[in-house]
Structure 1
Amino acid sequence: MHKVLLELETSLQQAEVRGDRQVLDALLADDFFEFGASGGRWNKAQVLQSLPQQVFIERRISEFSLLPLAPDLAQVTYLCNNAAAGGRAASSAWRSSLWRCREGRWQMLFHQGTPRPSA
């Protein structure tokens, strides 16, 4: 489970996935919602509409941890480091996702980003 969910989270940081509405649709549960590091709240439809249009920023995952909550539900947490891009300084945020497995397929149910203060 650890390897699968790390791979799924990592894929969501890639330009190819972030720009592909069909892939995003498959990765996000229909009842998905997110509290972003910017303070915004988004549902699946809003993410599918906006994410492919966003300017890509390279991200790296570190300190990845998994907590199984049930056989079909897990929480992952990690530090996401964003590269400097488009006049924006490099930044990082603590991230947490809930993943649910239905019919053998993991989908993200919830995601939250919390900005990490600059050192």
Structure 2
Amino acid sequence: MDLDAHLFELEQELQQTATRSNATRLAQLLADDFIEFGASGNVWGSKSEVISGLQDEVFSARRITNFTVKRLTEGVALVTYRSHQDAGGASLRSSVWRVEEGQWRMVFHQGTPVAVA
């Protein structure tokens, strides 16, 4: 599988309620030094904070468009895309992924709200 397809699959997996509520799977997908700047304006400064916060999350389904991958260096990639919520919201998203022990893990994620056209 090529890198673009693989990272797209991982991003889609993180948009699934089953993954977001599965602490074991989240621990595999997120790097130990993970940080997130959420579209809500919240900052999650640790992997454990994110995993704990997602356990009781009310999550609305989303779809991804305009997905791109840019290799920053060997084993590090920047992913950008537009996220559309079924409820009508939209945001620009970016993630930094890094290979650790042969597996791609998300190191950083940011969501920026945008007006729905």
Which TM-score band applies after superposition, normalised by the shorter structure?
A: over 0.9
The sequence identity of aligned pairs, in percent, is 46
Query: How big is the shift at 1:19?
Result: 0.9
Q: Structure 2: any 5+ residue segments left out of the alignment? A: none
Within the alignment, does 1:80 sit opposite 2:83 as a pair?
yes
Q: Which amino acid aligns with 1:107?
A: R
Per the alignment, residue 44 of structure 1 pairs with 47
Runs of 4+ aligned residues of structure 1 deviating over 3 Å after TM superposition are none
- Of residues 15, 19, 40, the one that matches 2:17 is 15
- Deviation by residue 1:15-48 (Cα, 9 ceiling, x = unmatched): 1101101100110000000000011100211111
Q: Identify the match of residue 100 of structure 1 among 98, 101, 110.
A: 98
Structure 1 gap segments, 5+ residues each: 85-89
Aligned equivalents of 2:109, 2:78: Cα separation in 1: 10
Report the count of equivalent residues.
114
- Residue 70 of structure 2 is matched in structure 1 by 67
Aligned counterpart, 1:115 = 113
- TM score, norm. by length of structure 2: 0.94
Partner Cα separation in structure 2 for residue 101 and residue 95 of structure 1: 20
| Distance (whole Å) between structure 2 residues aligned to residue 6 and residue 12 of structure 1 | 10
1:118 shift after superposition: 3.1
Structure 2 counterpart of 1:6, one-letter code: F
One-letter amino acid of the structure 2 residue matched with residue 80 of structure 1? S
Deviation at 1:103, TM superposition (A): 1.9
